[in-house]
């Protein structure tokens, strides 16, 4: 009977799939349902499949390193933290997002979660007051200004809409205030549209107890003074981190050339406790 039903479904262009509660497999199914309707949208395929691979790798890193504190710098609307929850992470989360328009949304998400704290500030190498450039597509918003390459590739999406004055603090300062002890097992994610090297520079003490890092890095900068992949490598590799995964996340729309990557770094196996 099962075989007959499968054959009947295939005759009409359908396929039976096993139900799953696995977050990565569910995301794969969602990607399938999306991409089958846009077979010629190559950039959409690249973005969806790279995000899926990055999500799978994130789940592996959280489990392998038995992470109990996730730090999310550049939270935007909470997408990364929600991905971590979908991937099975149940521990404490600290998210940093300076853009005023997202504060109410993030606060509502955190209130429903119970183990998620929102900080309405940016992070950097030193404490400061800086201008945040808010662009038409606010995922491009940054303390840095977009360059001609960004304008040529993304047009109205990087049109400046307003400037907000924001507070910049260091991660080391905030964790010291919260008395985060050396026993914590930290995963640090930073995605600040070109400012990630400064975030890491202000986290020297934090990085000593960090087991894994996910940072955005560019090979074709969209911002003046943006952190390049080589700069991120130079900051993290001497601290004992190893490259753990590189996933392309941004391409030039017309040429399909690579712009940005999700870059995972981790401590070697000798630092890892066996997963429970």
- Nearest-Å Rg of the Cα atoms of the chain is 20
Categorize the per-residue pLDDT at 6 as very low, low, confident or very high, splitting at 50, 70 and 90: low
Residues with Cβ within 8 Å of residue 269, at least 6 apart in sequence: none
Kindly tell me if the per-residue pLDDT of 274 is higher than 50. Answer: no
Q: What is the pLDDT of residues 134-167, one digit of tens each?
A: 999 999 999 999 999 999 999 999 999 999 999 9
Q: What is the pLDDT of residue 30?
A: 80
What pTM did the predictor assign?
A: 0.88
Show the tokens assigned to 67.
């992470």
Average pLDDT over residues 265-276: 65
Report strand pairing: 210-218 vs 186-190. Answer: parallel
Residues with Cβ within 8 Å of residue 106, at least 6 apart in sequence: 75, 77, 78, 95, 97, 118
Task: Give the torsion sign (CA, 220, 224, 230, 235).
Answer: negative
Q: What is the pLDDT of residue 172?
A: 98
Note whether residue 227 is domain-resident.
yes
Q: What is the pLDDT of residue 20?
A: 67
Q: What is the CATH number of the domain that holds 90?
A: 3.40.50.150
Q: What is the pLDDT of residues 165-196, one digit of tens each?
A: 999 999 999 999 999 988 999 999 999 999 99
Kindly tell me if the per-residue pLDDT of 106 is higher than 70. Answer: yes
Kindly tell me if the per-residue pLDDT of 259 is higher than 60. Answer: yes
Task: Give the torsion sign (CA, 75, 80, 86, 87).
Answer: negative
Task: Give the torsion sign (CA, 39, 84, 229, 128).
Answer: positive
Q: What is the pLDDT of residue 52?
A: 87
Note whether residue 3 is domain-resident.
no
Structurally, the chain folds into a number of domains equal to: 1
Domain range for 56: 38-270
Note whether residue 257 is domain-resident.
yes
Note whether residue 31 is domain-resident.
no
Q: What is the pLDDT of residue 37?
A: 83
Note whether residue 1 is domain-resident.
no
Angle, nearest 10°, between helix axes 42-64 and 79-86?
Answer: 60
Mean pLDDT of the chain: 90
């Amino acid at each position: 009977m099962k075989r007959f039903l499968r054959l009947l479904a295939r005759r009409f262009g359908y396929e039976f799939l096993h139900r799953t509660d696995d977050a990565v497999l569910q995301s794969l199914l969602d990607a399938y349902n999306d991409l089958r309707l846009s077979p010629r949208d190559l950039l959409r395929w690249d973005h969806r499949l790279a995000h899926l691979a990055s999500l799978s790798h994130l789940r592996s890193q959280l489990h392998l390193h038995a992470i109990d504190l996730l730090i999310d710098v550049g939270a935007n609307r909470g997408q990364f933290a929600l991905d971590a929850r979908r991937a099975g992470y149940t521990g404490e989360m600290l998210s940093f997002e300076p853009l005023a328009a997202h504060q109410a949304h993030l606060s509502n998400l955190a209130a429903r979660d119970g183990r998620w704290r929102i900080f309405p500030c940016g992070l950097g190498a030193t404490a400061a007051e800086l201008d945040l450039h808010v662009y038409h597509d606010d995922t491009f918003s940054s303390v840095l200004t977009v360059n001609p390459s960004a304008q040529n590739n993304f047009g109205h999406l990087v049109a400046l809409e307003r400037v907000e004055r924001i507070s910049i603090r260091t991660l080391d300062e905030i964790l010291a205030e919260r008395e985060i002890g050396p026993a914590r097992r930290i995963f640090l994610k930073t995605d600040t549209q070109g400012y990630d090297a400064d975030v890491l520079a202000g986290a020297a003490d934090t990085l000593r107890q960090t087991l894994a890092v996910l940072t955005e890095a560019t090979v074709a900068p969209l911002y003046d003074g943006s952190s390049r992949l080589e700069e991120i490598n130079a900051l993290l590799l001497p601290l004992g981190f190893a490259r753990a995964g590189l996933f392309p996340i941004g391409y030039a729309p017309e040429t399909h050339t690579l712009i940005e990557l999700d870059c995972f770094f981790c401590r070697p196996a000798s630092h890892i406790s066996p997963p429970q």
